[in-house]
Amino acid sequence: MTKYWLQIGHAEQLARFSAREKTGYKKYKITPDDWRNRAKWDDYQRAACDMFDHTSTELAPWVLVEAENKYYARIKVLKDLCRRIEAKLG
């Protein structure tokens, strides 16, 4: 098993939240809780680091993915997943 964490920056999150509010068919994706929790950015970052430190193992590692660019992030996940499947099959 592999776990993927797609990380975006504070500015990118703001841009995505703002875009969702302005796009009719995406408005359902943003709630007041999202905005409230955004104020706790630093706390969430520390919690994520703790999670990686305590839950990444050889059998179930975390793979951290830079996700500012959605296309790049998806390709990185797919390439990593394919590499891991090929390693298990070969």
**87 exposure class (CB count in 10 Å sphere: 0-12, 13-18, 19+):** exposed
Please report where in the chains the tokens 């999150």 appear, as a residue.
13
Prediction pTM value: 0.86
CA distance 61 to 26: 32
CA distance 33 to 38: 8
Residue 37's domain comprises 3-89
Q: State the total domains in the chain.
A: 1
CA angle 86, 63, 70 (to 5 degrees): 95
- Other Cβ atoms closer than 10 A to 57: 10
pLDDT tens string 36-62: 999 999 999 999 999 999 999 999 999
CA distance 16 to 18: 5
pLDDT tens string 3-15: 999 999 999 999 9
pLDDT tens string 57-84: 999 999 999 999 999 999 999 999 999 9
